[in-house]
Amino acid sequence: MHHPQAPIGIYDSGLGGLSVVRRVMMALPQESLLYVADTARVPYGNRSPEEIRSFSHEILDFLVEMGVKMIAVACNTSSVLILPASKKHRSVPVFGLAQAGARLPAGIKRVALLATEATVRSGQYKRLLQLHHPLVDLVEVACPDFVPLVESGKWESAEAFEVVAARLAPLKQRSLDAVILGCSHFPYLHKAIQAALGAGVQLLDPAERLATQVAGELTQLRLLNRDPKPIFHGYTTACPSTFAPLAERYLQRELRHLRQTSLGGRVPQQISQRVSVGVVEGVGVR
């Protein structure tokens, strides 16, 4: 049986999953979190399904070994490829971002899915949407240039607005009701996406629903944390000193300590060393 004070595990290929972290912190401020950013192997969106499944299960194993009580897959690409097969991983409940995003608010008739190439290529997000909303008119748009903008810290730059406007220009003729931000990196580009599509198009962030699902499951399992001093445990498979400033900028809080991890040796050392220049020991957030 998991302990209520155990952390919630969240993972993504890089900075993107912090959009889920932020939503979970808002919904469950008393919960400790353990976040893994697989920045040594970002982006996942242009990789093969076999690679993504392998990376995902390596991180799931790591999170379970670290003692998490629940896992939120903050990577849409990962969640469409490993769920629903992994509703639990070694007895730990697992929730996916894509599964949360496939439930639309009432009144949505025409929607666009913005996602990575791998997510669009899999067809799984489309199937999930059609299962719950068979009458919705859906258009899928692969946006391979969005993740690099975020990972480089340029999410509110003039370049970001230009790239996003060019990519989404064909959607302006679609009379859309809403757009699903089908990659956890894309909420970083909220301003640029809204500017490209106009104020009349609703932007749907699946992280909001995912945080609600996690809260509901913890309540049902009686695993809500009552500790008034939650801790944020941060891990990256690449360089903490590169990751931390961008993470702090997005979360608007100081990450006092961050660790590098090879996921128990699962990330080849040559990959980590190629992008790493140092390790900052310890965990915590304030």
User: Which residue has tokens 């607005």?
Assistant: 161
Question: Which of 87-96, 140-149, 157-166 bottoms out in mean pLDDT, i.e. has the lowest?
Answer: 87-96
Which of these is catalytic: 183, 204, 244, 285?
Answer: 183
Active site residue 75: yes
* Cα–Cα distance measured from residue 170 to residue 177, given in angstroms and rounded to the nearest whole number: 15
Which of these is catalytic: 59, 63, 75, 193?
Answer: 75
Instruction: Report yes or no on whether pTM surpasses 0.85.
Output: yes
Contact partners, residue 80, CB within 8 Å, separation at least 6 = 96, 98, 119, 122, 124, 125, 128
Per-residue model confidence (pLDDT) at position 278: 33
Q: Looking at the predicted structure, is the pLDDT value of residue 237 above 90?
A: yes
Question: Within a domain: residue 283?
Answer: no
Per-residue model confidence (pLDDT) at position 279: 32
Per-residue model confidence (pLDDT) at position 256: 78
- Claim to verify: residue 88 and residue 222 sit in the same structural domain: yes
Query: Which of the two residues, 280 and 198, has the higher pLDDT score?
Result: 198
Query: Which of the two residues, 281 and 127, has the higher pLDDT score?
Result: 127
Q: Looking at the predicted structure, is the pLDDT value of residue 2 above 70?
A: yes
Per-residue model confidence (pLDDT) at position 282: 33
- Claim to verify: residue 105 and residue 172 sit in the same structural domain: yes
pLDDT-derived band at 153, boundaries 50, 70, 90: very high
- What's the domain range around 46? 8-97+209-275
* Number of domain units in the chain: 2
Question: Within a domain: residue 107?
Answer: yes
φ, ψ dihedrals at 242, nearest 5°: -85, -40
**Stretch 234-247: mean pLDDT, rounded?**
93
CATH number at residue 161: 3.40.50.1860
Question: Within a domain: residue 284?
Answer: no
Question: Which of 57-71, 232-246, 263-277 bottoms out in mean pLDDT, i.e. has the lowest?
Answer: 263-277
